Amino acid sequence: MKRFATLLGGLHLLLLALPLSAATAKNDIQEFKLKNGMKVLILKDDSIPNANMYTFWKVGSRNELPGITGLSHFFEHMMFNGSKNFPPGSFDTTMEAAGGSNNAYTSNDVTVYTNWFPTSAFSTIVDLEADRIANLALDDKKIDSERGVVLSERSTGLENDPWEELSIVVRSTAFLAHPYSWPVIGWETDIKAWTKADLQKYFDTYYNPANAVMVVVGDVDPK
């Protein structure tokens, strides 16, 4: 996990005029690549003292295999469920205390984490993002607890929704053996059967800085 330690550490310096590679202006968008491999795009907009930060991880249900379907969506949950340094829920409470808000979503192709906050809280938000990648808590108790949450979400949002049921039938017919054939939330049997080892392997494979693109728009100055 040490390779994650510098996930966003360089971003503070990046915004203080220490780009780690040549920046290129394209429609006022500044593009950087951090030493850890993460691509960062910055668009300055000082109309209000706020910023939006979107982190796109190039992993979705298409990266899964039969037996581990739903893992991408599950990590969307786990990323808000505490780390070795912060208890569950602290990401949300810290964000709200700083005057910001956040969300996340998972699709077939990407998992996206979104943050909106006052520019004054920028360093705090960067620290939170870096910490949950470097120190995400994957202990059995938290996994089992969140597993129950996801199963409940699946039951209410998929199994009891006729349109979702229709979508499953259409997908399974249209894509056959392709990963697009299963729902992003995963199959119930797989959700119940995941092991901690499955989660750790998936996390180590896809949650590395080189597999992400961070987009920051707002009252920040890359120069």
Domain ranges across the chain: 2-218
d(CA 174, CA 51): 40
Mean local confidence (pLDDT), 188-214: 96
- Closest to 129 measured CA to CA, from 38, 49, 62: 38
Q: Which has the minimum average pLDDT: 2-16, 122-136, 194-208?
A: 2-16
Is 159 assigned a catalytic role? Answer: no
Catalytic residue among 64, 76, 146, 165: 76
Whole-structure pTM value: 0.85
Q: Which has the minimum average pLDDT: 7-21, 71-85, 140-154?
A: 7-21
Phi, psi of 44 (to 5 degrees): -80, 130
Three-state DSSP class for 41?
strand
Exposure of 141 in the CB half-sphere (CA atoms within 13 A): 2
Question: Any idea which residue has 């912060």 for tokens?
Answer: 86
DSSP state of 4: G
Q: Which has the minimum average pLDDT: 58-62, 75-79, 172-176, 196-200?
A: 172-176
pLDDT of residue 28: 86
pLDDT of residue 11: 52
Phi, psi of 28 (to 5 degrees): 70, 10
pLDDT of residue 24: 42
Q: Which CATH superfamily is domain 2-218 in?
A: Metalloenzyme, LuxS/M16 peptidase-like (3.30.830.10)
Three-state DSSP class for 101?
strand
Q: How big is the chain by its Cα radius of gyration, in Å?
A: 18
How distant, in Å, are the alpha carbons of 22, 75, 147, 192, 199 from that of 196? 40, 12, 11, 12, 5
Task: With a cut of 80, say whether residue 8 has pLDDT above it.
Answer: no
Mean local confidence (pLDDT), 31-41: 93
How distant, in Å, are the alpha carbons of 162, 184, 223 from that of 167? 9, 11, 47
For 82, the enclosing helix (H) or strand (E) is none
Task: With a cut of 50, say whether residue 4 has pLDDT above it.
Answer: no
d(CA 52, CA 142): 29
